[in-house]
A and B are shown apart, each in its own frame.
Chain A
Amino acid sequence: MNVWIAIAATFLGCYAVKLAGLLVPAGTLERPLVKRLAALLPVALLAALTAQQTFADGQTLVLDARAMGVTATAPAAGMLRRWPGRTR
């Protein structure tokens, strides 16, 4: 049940922000500080999530095979960086 609550909340929240972008008049969110913050927020969240899912086992930090698995994919992530279109 808890999982369904989480799914419903995520769906409503994520759909609402997608739609909001298309509906609000241009210029409302175009302030430079807001734009910078919106660009940096995913950087912070993704970095923390990558680190946690690589090194966390419940609430303790461990170094196991996952760290090697993620390190192995790093060059592929570097290649994506040069992918045309992914330049934002």
Chain B
Amino acid sequence: MADRTVLEDADIGGKTDRAVVRDALGVGVAVGLSGFAFGVTSAGGGLTLLQTCALSLLVFTGASQFALVGALAAGGSPFTAAAGAFFLGVRNAFYGLRLSQLLALPRAVRPFAAQWVIDETTAVALGQPTRRAARLGFVVTGLTLYVLWNLTTLLGALGAEAIGDTDAWGLDAAGPAVFLALLAPMLKSGTERAVAALAVLLGLGLLPVLPAGVPVLLAALAAPVVLWADGRRKGQEDTR
């Protein structure tokens, strides 16, 4: 009964099931394109077709995948490469925290739902007015993205093998372009921009002197350093 009231409210709010599905599919198309870019980048970076597809099927979180193949292509050790990818994936734990309250999934379902806990499914689910709509949004976005991401990864990798030298086609810019697209919406305030600027300095400055993959991990220190500086400045303003 309570459910029905919520549903009627949702309809009055203009959020029908169809509208939720439209939200979900809209996100899916954009992500399909970056799946293609991943396939090209990964194959261009020297991974086999099987390795490229295994990454999309198993890891299924774009930024980590791009980071991993980038680090491996640059000659990083498997462990520094995996560590960078892992740190990028840590944000998904915080999405999971919010989703688990919002979706109220049964315990038995959680191990399966976990694979779909990523930027886009979280964005769509959090944007819905009711639990029912949030669940629908999560499932439709998750399924659409999983299928599209893996399909376009395969096509991208096959395409890269067919055209040979991806660098000559300018496709080596696909990786950084995708990172930039992920980064841009995060740069909301001065704090984020300061972190990004410091991380760029560390990442480029340490590159010539440290083994491949390590500078990126050290660049992550920009986050606690800027937070600490922010906290100090706020503290001083308060005592003034």
Q: How far is the CA of A3 from the CA of B118 in the complex (A)?
A: 24
Known: A6-B81, A45-B220, A86-B185. 9 other contacts (CB 8 A): A6-B82, A14-B85, A21-B95, A21-B114, A24-B97, A50-B176, A52-B216, A70-B177, A85-B27
What is the size, in residues, of chain A's interface with B at 8 Å between Cβ atoms?
A: 67
Convert B69-103 into 0s and 1s, putting 1 for each residue whose CB lies closer than 8 angstroms to a CB of A: 01010110111011011111111111111011100
Total A-B pairs, Cβ < 8 A: 282
B181 at the interface (CB under 8 A from A): yes
Contact (A45, B87) CB under 8 Å given A19-B110, A80-B181: yes
Identify which of B88, B99, B111, B177 contacts A42 (C-beta below 8 A): B88
Task: Determine if A65 and B179 form an interchain contact, defined as CB atoms under 8 angstroms apart.
Answer: no
Tell me how far the C-beta of B94 lies from the nearest C-beta in chain A, rounded to whole angstroms.
5
B1 at the interface (CB under 8 A from A): no
Convert A1-32 into 0s and 1s, putting 1 for each residue whose CB lies closer than 8 angstroms to a CB of B: 01111110111011101111111101001100
Contact (A48, B203) CB under 8 Å given A19-B96, A59-B212: yes
Residues from chain A with a CB closer than 8 A to the CB of B59 are 7, 10-11, 14-15
Q: Which 10 A-B pairs have the closest CB atoms?
A: A21-B96, A69-B173, A48-B203, A48-B219, A6-B78, A47-B196, A9-B82, A40-B223, A13-B86, A21-B93
